[in-house]
Amino acid sequence: MARMVDGKVAVVTGAGRGIGREIAAMMARHGARVVVNDLGASVAGEGADRSPGAETVELIRAAGGQAVLNTDSVTERKGAETIIGTAIEAFGRVDIVVNNAGILRDRIFHRMSEDEWDAVLAVHLKGSFNVSRAAANHFKEQESGAFVHMTSTSGLIGNFGQANYAAAKLGIVGLSRSIALDMARFNVRSNCISPFAWSRMIGAIPTDTPEQQARVEKLKQMTPDKIAAMAVYLASDAAREITGQILAVRNNEVFLMSQPRPIRGLHRAGGWTPEALAEEMGPAFRSSLVPLERTADVFSWDPV
């Protein structure tokens, strides 16, 4: 088997379970030395437990790989610096950062609390910034490095009851794109994966209706190892020309996702008034307006 990331050092956050564990394990199988970061919190971000991360480390070591555990929180700048410091101390460098740590606090928007908003943004968006920022100077100095961030179609397309999660995940797209632009001169790449996979977080989706139950049953077909393959590829030198992109993985399907670009344009000499916008722009743009859809409306076919 070709070892796609042989000799590299990878940091994977949220690697105690699910997608993160599969990414860490596959990185190791492809030759990377891995820092397994996991706070061991619940899906909602509560509590702490070393055992999930320790189990991932043992899994990697039992297969002949090299891994160390870190249990710091990505939500704190000092914690993120310690995560990257663990890689430097244990393995002498860092080449890959996979920002996978996440929590869910789902609530319909008009009932969502400030704490539910803040907690999700802190782990997903601020956590991705913190760990990326802690690694950035190392990548700059060695003039190489790859970031892989996890986004979601909840942000890219939409979903019910996830305003906090959707905002964080779409924010990560902007963060990744900015990193790609700012650090391209140092041969540093940054990409996003939008994963469809059965995981502990997906397992927290309500199943109160037949529609929700059917959705969850379909998601169970989509195992985390499918996501791990994309993460290893994007982190490898084989993907050296891919940066600033969003790739989705849905069971055996992979997609390059679109990013915002102008669709239609109108010019009016002398500028626009509210009345002119209503009379001219509204009718002209109507057929091109993006419909109010959810992920299931766009990905309407069963996973392949």
104 and 120 in contact (C-beta within 8 Å)?
A: yes
Identify whether 165 is a catalytic site residue: yes
Residues 190-201: pLDDT tens digits? 999 999 976 555
Flag whether pLDDT at 204 surpasses 60.
Answer: no
Contacts for 201 with CB less than 8 Å, ≥ 6 apart: 18, 43, 102, 103, 104
Flag whether pLDDT at 210 surpasses 90.
Answer: no
Residues 125-153: pLDDT tens digits? 999 999 999 999 999 999 999 999 999 99
Residues 37-90: pLDDT tens digits? 999 867 766 776 899 999 999 999 999 999 999 999 999 999 999 999 999 999
Residues 214-244: pLDDT tens digits? 766 766 778 889 999 999 999 999 999 999 9
Give the Cα separation of 262 and 266 in Å (integer): 11
Over residues 98-120, mean pLDDT: 97
* Residue 135 exposure: Cα atoms within 13 Å on the Cβ side: 38
Give the Cα separation of 297 and 172 in Å (integer): 23
Which one, of 139, 39, 18, 25, lies nearest residue 83 by Cα? 39
Q: Which helix (H) or strand (E) holds 156?
A: helix 153-156
The active-site residue, picked from 165, 196, 198, 233, is 165
The domain ranges of the chain are 9-256
Provide Rg for the chain, Cα atoms: 20
Q: Which CATH architecture has domain 9-256?
A: 3-Layer(aba) Sandwich (3.40)
pTM: 0.92
The pLDDT, as a whole number, for residue 222 is 81
Give the Cα separation of 201 and 103 in Å (integer): 7
* Residue 102 exposure: Cα atoms within 13 Å on the Cβ side: 27
By CB neighbour count within 10 A (0-12 exposed, 13-18 middle, 19+ buried), where does 264 fall?
exposed
Contacts for 146 with CB less than 8 Å, ≥ 6 apart: 95, 96, 97, 188, 189, 190, 191, 234, 235, 236, 239
**Rounded to the nearest 10 degrees, what angle do helices 18-29 and 225-235 cross at?**
50
Give the Cα separation of 64 and 119 in Å (integer): 37
* β-sheet bridge partners, residue 69: 36
Q: Which helix (H) or strand (E) holds 228?
A: helix 225-235
